[in-house]
Structure 1
Amino acid sequence: MAKIDPAALQQFKSEVALKFQLYNSLFTSLPFHRIEKTGILLSVLLNVCEEGYKKKKTPLQILDDFFASHTSFRTEQEKADLLFRFVQYVERQVVLFDALEDAAFSKINDFSGPGTLKQLASFLQQPDLDTSQLEKNPFCVRMVLTAHPTQFYPGSVLGIIHDLAKALQENNTSLVNSYLQQLGKTPFFKKQKPTPFDEAMSLIWYLDNVFYPAVGKILSYADSELAGKVNNNQPLLQMGFWPGGDRDGNPFVTADTTIQVAAALRSSIIKQYYLDVRRLKRRLTFKETDQLIGDLEKQLYNEVFGEQPSRSLSADSMIRQLQQVRDTIVLQHNGLFADRIDNLIQKIRAFGLFYASLDVRQDSSVHESFFEVISQSGNIFSGLYSSLTPEERLDQLSKLPALATDPTFREAVHADTLASVKAIARIQQENGEIGCHRYIISHCTSAANVMEVFGLFLLGGWKKEELTVDIVPLFETIEDLLQAGAIMDALYQLPVYREHLKRRGDKQTIMLGFSDGTKDGGYLMANFSILQAKKELTALSAKYGLDVLFFDGRGGPPARGGGKTHKFYASMGKDVSSKEIQLTIQGQTISSNFGTIDAAQFNMEQLLNAGLSAAAKHSTRATLDQGQEALLLQLANDGFNAYSALKNHPTFLEYLSHASALRFYAATNIGSRPAKRGSATRLSLSDLRAIPFVGAWSQLKQNVTGYYGVGTALKLAEERGEWKKVKEMYQHSLFFKTLIDNCEMAMLKCYFPLTSHLADHKEFGEIWHMIYSEYELTRKYVLLLSGNTELMADYPVEQLSVSMRERIVLPLTTIQQYAITRVRELEAGSPHDPAAGMKTTYEKLVMRCSFGIINAGRNSA
């Protein structure tokens, strides 16, 4: 049972809920067209929606009633204009709510309480605690900012949110009013699709404004308070980066893009160092230090404003210079401002000249087709690549010569595949080895898929003895997770690959993805399969004398590995390698969990605490005991069968496409990647990316991927007489408890009255009832487990936040469903219908509603 903090709830009510009502009134003065009436009408619409759904009305009926009873608008264009104004208004209400939560973060959360580094420091002081493993083994949390831009706010709006939160913190009503007016005039909609470089620059904004100061604060504290208890051979926090390197299914990412993004990362971190050194120079005015700090300032100035990056600048040389300054200050000036020098040294250790380590990712099918083309054009292989046996592939890929000249390829993706390994070499020269040292293989299904990347580097001119790159297989579908152990076993037995690992410090990084696993096998099976794969790979790697590092591909919502992430890591026992915590942080989760320095510091400390305390506490305990594991396997299988029945329903994807915003995702201009892999015109589940799949269910307020199959599994357990065992597992297994907690979060964001009109639909009524029945069943059994009468009752602050956000966007979800219905009607109707020309308008309305709905959900896609 979670410990409820009444003071935190009261703080939230006064600092967020009450202030939202107060500041919301300022919107009446926002510079919209006819805004004074829009604000009044929107509150009327919210009331009409709530009353209409109680009477089981459809979104179409609700809005028709609203227009007829509360407006004089009768033409389609007039109605659409008002709906667009409502969208604008609600978008900005969501921004206000975001800013209020950001401003209140440090008041609501206890920075000395559970999960913080202060609490960890006290915990590690216990005399009977064995911290030898922490002192011996280096540990770090690596957060990888990803190119999944479900964050719809453009950079200009992010800046306003940042400033608005600060003004709200200071209760500066005049400034708040000014920023709200600025918000009213600032466009939210991106007219053009962002390029991968645009995505990179938007995330570099977070590096500059949030992660750079937050990481510095945490590392400085750890260096002083955890010294001697935790190994500090490597920084406790490291940053990774995907925009510009992640080319999986993204034709817009090229080798040139990768080089350009790496250069932007390098120049951005040097600018931060330059600014910090300038600030230091204002304090270190002593005659023994001003020359030393002045020299460093000049070096950084030349890097920032010079035409070419210097080869002489290095992180090590900067640290040496700063250490010399620090020694002088300690000896001659009583250590005055030494803490500021320490802070900068910690930042340089963490960020180097690379800022965030740029990962390259490509799909295994691209590598296979690349080698097929190569095999057709020369004598590199003993025959066509497709005709080789698996053993022949492994053998021949490990012996490839460097290409004398680059071949001419028909397809640009194959030319880029070869160019990318040369780009990595260039980045390592300019940013340092850690600046780009990982190549990730999506949909890895064989040992040959890993060796294809090894062979690719050999073709690109790398010598196997000097290959300073980690090859990282990504296992994601349920089948791939089951095969992961066998694939890695084959690789570990391959002498050439084992030698490569030896040169890489006897470490193998393996990426495990939640998104496609959930899409493929449902919520319970995906989480259980990933846990089982981790346990198997941990034991297998230890057998070969290797350290395995797990890199989790997590998104924001529970369906994609999100939710209470730190609790998952805290629940890991001795049977899962915990040398590092590595996870992706995608766009929307960056802004919601790491959008301010306070929030970033708090959530990074939670991850650090989870990993370090788990290493100290659970050194002799497994994640699940044998009985729990057998029980969870049965639950996962039952959940999988239920989800598979839904997924295999003949109208499954048609239903989602018909009822949700899925078909409009590609036109929202939210990201550089297409909404699906491949070029096939017919939609298939395997090609559909996880973000539009999960996001569409989220906007539909059905969140299927976050709970479907859980209720059926729990009901069957009860029928088998195992309910007592399930209850005990819920009470004693943090892993299972966290699974259920996150399931509750997904369900709290559901609202079935929005789509209840589909219950009687001739084609889709059956599948709607399947989903609603499973929701009700899951809700019943989850509440039985928790002993509560409401979802998320153990987390009242989050519960209230979700409830308020869902109410704010209820008009948007209604408008979106109304617009989707009108698009369908116009597509089915006569082209001579007077309203036929409105189809494009309603399609735009569907897209615009997506922005506010997903931003309000914070971790909904």
Structure 2
Amino acid sequence: MMQKQRAKGQRESVFNNEVVSRFELYNSLFLTLPFYRVKDTGTLLPLFIKYCEDGVKNHETPAGIINAFFEKYTQNNSKKDIIDLLFRFIQYIERQVVLFDAVEDASFNKLNADEEHSALLVYLKKGVDNPALTEKIEKLIEDFSLRLVLTAHPTQFYPGSVLSIITDLTTAIKTNDISTINQLLQQLGKTPFFNKKSPTPVDEALSLAWYLENVFYFAAANIQSEIDKSLNDYNLESKKIIELGFWPGGDRDGNPNVHTDSTIQVSKMLRQILYRCYYRDFRNLKRRITFRGVEENIAKVQDTLYQQAFSPNIATEDISGCVIESLNKIKTTLNEDHDGLFSDLVSDLIRKMELYGSHFASLDIRQDSRVLRDVHTYCRQSKPLTTLYPENYEALNEQEKINAMIFKSAKVNYTEAPNALTEDTLQTIAEIKQIQQINGALACHRFIISNCQQASDILQLIELFLYNGWTEDELTIDFVPLFETVHDLADAASIMETLYSHPFYKKHLQKRGGKQHIMLGFSDSTKDGGYLMANWSIFNAKVALTTTADKHNIQLAFFDGRGGPPSRGGGKTHRFYASMGKEIANKNIQLTVQGQSISSQYGSIDSAEFNMEQLINAGISAGMKEKHNILLDPLHKNLLDEMATESFDAFVALRKHPLFLSYLEKFSPLTLLSKITISSRPVKRNSGEALKLEDLRAISFVTSWSQLKQNIPGFYGIGTALKSQLDLGNWDKVVKTYQESGYFKTIVDNCMMSMSKTDFAITAYFANDKTYGAFWTMLYNEFKLSKELLLKLSGHESLMENYPVEKRSISVREKIVLPLVLIQHYALEQLQHDLTEEEQQSLEKLAIRTVYGIVNAGRNLA
């Protein structure tokens, strides 16, 4: 225990010296940025920050704080002058956030030097004299995989140009290269932080592809190399562990801007970027391999890679296997005739080609079940299908519908023109085959059904494939149900039981290696039922789904739709996976990585390697456990059932409060989010209709609360649940559960992280609002109760006491962006008054601009 405390103290000391001190040093360079009146801005900003801090302590309104500041420190106090200086403050602070990111990233290895690295190596060493253990490890490695799926959720505020600057800035900071740092900060000052118009899905794909090309291409291969070496040292066969997935261009759920041509363009773009990576590596390899005996294969590989990387006339098939074959011939010649000189460079390129093929990352297709049902209805109305289904098909119950399905390939004669969504679905189904032919079978092999509520949602989709260019034998597709709401999670196991028992689906799964992918959504389940109920519902669904899969001898791969913040499944992700008991399938870790979590966790090769390694460690460690999860014991399960229900009831009561949505609309930038030009996706489904909570996207919902610095989705209801157990005399049981269950402890730790980014002092003046004062007080009381009882439960004196470095990082970041939060509240309050059109536009822009810096600084807030 003392050793752990000492290590935490050392990490905190390193953080203060390496990050905070260096940030303060380099921060002085901002006074030379190429901004209008930058010295005035830099001089006034520290004074403004002090005014903000003191004003918040005294519970003053943002308007009062800002007006008092301008009266004391500036001469021109017209509305235009005030807004002008506030814009300059925002511009300055945005770049301070970038600098802090870069300084923190530059210190990443030093801050994480004491963390665990290869759990695989640890277990391999243990298995040297234990054949049974070695056999278990070998079996685990054979089945294990990690799939990271990059998604284009609209909270990645750094465009590619800024990401490149951050990368270069991080490198310069590592060596304290002041001249380069100063130049890069100058460049940063001139570089726009946002687009003038919303990106298309292809634009989003290009932005995310920056990470594939500059980070994952190297990081995943480096980890695979270490795994290969570890396994080889113990005479075990190598196994591909890491897989990459991709959603931009394929995810059309509620996004009317994604079309078939987007999907095709993205698949071609991924291939071309990948071959440019291969060609870049090959040029370095060719500079070293200048020996006789390899000339023909060198020339052949060079010509092939060049054509694929730069020619518009790329091959119409996956040629990665042919290139690997030529590279292996080069490697053989090097080993046999040249003492193996530089064969490691060839091996590295072969490894990358085996990892990424011709596709780089698998492009997932996603669509809502309601859309897919409409498409099935459209198809049934055409010949020959119209004669094969009963006329009253829609009126049949679930089992009758399943019994009526035909599962035969058919050439459908469509007589009526389909609507846009139907046409896109049918075209996409047809084009997936072409994408697989060009980029390989792994290029596009998963179709995710959002809002999946019944077995027929999956089975009807299979029929759509059979009606649109596919035969049963060539159906190289994994059909992935996505269970999102609390209700759907509860029904998930029975839905899968129906599927596993269905003759056609059973046969299809056998062809797919007996492996079923199931996606579970954190975002919508949290919006639906609150933080604790969402986590508990997913846990119970995983247990039930694993039991059902085991019964049918199905290998289960859970795909977790995890966002950045704890309220969307984020937080200490690897601890979540490490805490799984043997009753939950955990051999295939799959999760979405989205928003600013991509840049914060996978923004550099160092951080990407570390976080992927941590996830692999979690899976290996969980796979080696023999103990069952204590949350399945009647005592602990009943306790969590009760707490989840109490929390759920409190959260639902909050959602049903008549002021709930109007509070968000008035005090947060919710209604302005649709004007932020960062995403091709609308803020809500049914974008042409009035705002309803059920249509609001979870990401917009969570972002709005985080902008308020209240983070309600990340904790609300947990205080009520803990208080109920305390009043019932069950506190000792709750403490015992916390101490013995890694899963419950992870839930609590992530909740405390969310609360660490919460500051009700900023909005304390809401308490005096005639309409919303009592509502704000209700929220604040739940926060105070949750904080008090979580600290009592954990035995800590402050939130995130166990994570001093992360706690300190949050503290510094929150201090940097405090002025942005107050400027946002000021702008939103001013927008309530009668304004000219010009004044309204200026204030809206002011509020919108604050969102960028607040989210970027939070790193996993939205």
TM-score by length of 1: 0.96
Matched, 1:854 2:858: no
Query: Taking structure 1 as reference, are residues 572 and 373 closer, same or farther at Cα in structure 2, changes over 3 Å only?
Result: same
Q: Corresponding residue for 1:840?
A: 841
Runs of 4+ aligned structure 1 residues displaced above 6 Å come to: 228-231
How far apart, CA to CA, are the structure 1 residues paired with 2:562 and 2:106? 26
Q: Which of 697, 701, 708 is 1:700 aligned to? A: 708
Matched, 1:213 2:236: no
Q: Corresponding residue for 2:793?
A: 785
Q: Corresponding residue for 1:667?
A: 675
Instruction: Look up the SS of the partner of 1:227 in the other structure.
Output: helix
Q: Corresponding residue for 1:331?
A: 336
> What is the deviation of 1:787?
1.6
Q: Which of 42, 47, 68 is 1:44 aligned to? A: 47
Q: Corresponding residue for 1:497?
A: 505
How far apart, CA to CA, are the structure 2 residues paired with 1:277 and 1:836? 58
Matched, 1:34 2:42: no
- Post-superposition CA distance 1:799-847 (Å, at most 9, x none): 0000000000000000000000011123xxxxxx6x5630111011111
Q: Which of 180, 183, 186 is 1:181 aligned to? A: 186
How far apart, CA to CA, are the structure 2 residues paired with 1:336 and 1:47? 62
Q: Which runs of 5+ in 2 are unaligned?
A: none
Please tell me whether the aligned partners of residues 220 and 342 of structure 1 are also in contact (alpha carbons under 8 angstroms).
Answer: no
Matched, 1:582 2:599: no
> What is the deviation of 1:391?
2.7
> What is the deviation of 1:394?
1.8
- Post-superposition CA distance 1:225-271 (Å, at most 9, x none): 13376975641111000000000000111111101100111111111
Matched, 1:591 2:599: yes
- Where in structure 2 are the equivalents of 1:357-756 lying within 5 Å? 357-378=362-383, 379=386, 381-383=389-391, 385-618=393-626, 624-679=632-687, 681-756=689-764
Instruction: Look up the SS of the partner of 1:226 in the other structure.
Output: helix
Task: Give the AA of the match of 1:100.
Answer: V
- Post-superposition CA distance 1:58-89 (Å, at most 9, x none): 11111111111111122111111111111100
Task: Give the AA of the match of 1:691.
Answer: I
Q: Corresponding residue for 2:111?
A: 108
Matched, 1:18 2:21: yes
Query: Taking structure 1 as reference, are residues 186 and 481 closer, same or farther at Cα in structure 2, changes over 3 Å only?
Result: same
Task: Give the AA of the match of 1:40.
Answer: T
How far apart, CA to CA, are the structure 1 residues paired with 2:669 and 2:803? 30
- Where in structure 2 are the equivalents of 1:167-178 lying within 5 Å? 167-178=172-183
Instruction: Look up the SS of the partner of 2:359 in the other structure.
Output: coil
- Post-superposition CA distance 1:367-392 (Å, at most 9, x none): 11222333445515322552333234
Instruction: Look up the SS of the partner of 1:686 in the other structure.
Output: helix
> What is the deviation of 1:142?
0.2
Task: Give the AA of the match of 1:338.
Answer: S
Q: Which of 273, 296, 300 is 1:268 aligned to? A: 273
Query: Taking structure 1 as reference, are residues 769 and 119 closer, same or farther at Cα in structure 2, changes over 3 Å only?
Result: farther
Matched, 1:245 2:250: yes
Instruction: Look up the SS of the partner of 2:133 in the other structure.
Output: coil
How far apart, CA to CA, are the structure 2 residues paired with 1:115 and 1:566? 14
Q: Corresponding residue for 1:348?
A: 353
Instruction: Look up the SS of the partner of 1:5 in the other structure.
Output: helix
Moved more, 118-127 or 479-488: 118-127
How far apart, CA to CA, are the structure 2 residues paired with 1:524 and 1:231? 42
Please tell me whether the aligned partners of residues 252 and 673 of structure 1 are also in contact (alpha carbons under 8 angstroms).
Answer: yes
- Post-superposition CA distance 1:632-667 (Å, at most 9, x none): 222111111111111111111111111111111111
Matched, 1:821 2:826: no
> What is the deviation of 1:624?
4.6
How far apart, CA to CA, are the structure 1 residues paired with 2:363 and 2:196? 28
Matched, 1:151 2:156: yes
Query: Taking structure 1 as reference, are residues 711 and 129 closer, same or farther at Cα in structure 2, changes over 3 Å only?
Result: farther
Q: Percent identity?
A: 47
Please tell me whether the aligned partners of residues 112 and 118 of structure 1 are also in contact (alpha carbons under 8 angstroms).
Answer: no
> What is the deviation of 1:572?
0.7
- Post-superposition CA distance 1:495-536 (Å, at most 9, x none): 111111111111111100100000001111100100100110
Please tell me whether the aligned partners of residues 571 and 623 of structure 1 are also in contact (alpha carbons under 8 angstroms).
Answer: no
Please tell me whether the aligned partners of residues 120 and 620 of structure 2 are also in contact (alpha carbons under 8 angstroms).
Answer: no
How far apart, CA to CA, are the structure 1 residues paired with 2:234 and 2:575? 22
Q: Corresponding residue for 1:829?
A: none
Q: Corresponding residue for 1:296?
A: 301
Q: Which runs of 5+ in 1 are unaligned?
A: 827-832
How far apart, CA to CA, are the structure 2 residues paired with 1:237 and 1:115? 15
How far apart, CA to CA, are the structure 2 residues paired with 1:282 and 1:595? 30
Q: Corresponding residue for 1:60?
A: 63
Query: Taking structure 1 as reference, are residues 837 and 325 closer, same or farther at Cα in structure 2, changes over 3 Å only?
Result: closer
> What is the deviation of 1:115?
6.2
Query: Taking structure 1 as reference, are residues 312 and 114 closer, same or farther at Cα in structure 2, changes over 3 Å only?
Result: closer
> What is the deviation of 1:438?
0.3
> What is the deviation of 1:858?
0.4
Instruction: Look up the SS of the partner of 2:99 in the other structure.
Output: helix
Please tell me whether the aligned partners of residues 93 and 817 of structure 2 are also in contact (alpha carbons under 8 angstroms).
Answer: yes
Q: Corresponding residue for 1:235?
A: 240
How far apart, CA to CA, are the structure 1 residues paired with 2:233 and 2:465? 41
- Where in structure 2 are the equivalents of 1:763-778 lying within 5 Å? 763-778=771-786
Instruction: Look up the SS of the partner of 1:777 in the other structure.
Output: helix
How far apart, CA to CA, are the structure 1 residues paired with 2:840 and 2:397? 54
> What is the deviation of 1:575?
0.3
How far apart, CA to CA, are the structure 1 residues paired with 2:72 and 2:232? 69
- Where in structure 2 are the equivalents of 1:308-323 lying within 5 Å? 308-311=313-316, 314-323=319-328
- Post-superposition CA distance 1:302-353 (Å, at most 9, x none): 2223332224653322222222222332333333223222222221111110
Query: Taking structure 1 as reference, are residues 163 and 407 closer, same or farther at Cα in structure 2, changes over 3 Å only?
Result: farther
Please tell me whether the aligned partners of residues 450 and 483 of structure 2 are also in contact (alpha carbons under 8 angstroms).
Answer: yes
Task: Give the AA of the match of 2:61.
Answer: T
> What is the deviation of 1:566?
0.4
TM-score by length of 2: 0.96
How far apart, CA to CA, are the structure 1 residues paired with 2:830 and 2:120? 53
- Post-superposition CA distance 1:129-174 (Å, at most 9, x none): 7242331232110000012131111111111111111111111001
- Where in structure 2 are the equivalents of 1:76-225 lying within 5 Å? 76-110=79-113, 113=116, 127=130, 130-136=133-139, 137-225=142-230
Query: Taking structure 1 as reference, are residues 435 and 124 closer, same or farther at Cα in structure 2, changes over 3 Å only?
Result: farther
> What is the deviation of 1:127?
4.6
Instruction: Look up the SS of the partner of 2:589 in the other structure.
Output: strand
RMSD, aligned α-carbons: 1.9
> What is the deviation of 1:406?
4.6
Please tell me whether the aligned partners of residues 659 and 820 of structure 1 are also in contact (alpha carbons under 8 angstroms).
Answer: yes
Instruction: Look up the SS of the partner of 2:833 in the other structure.
Output: helix
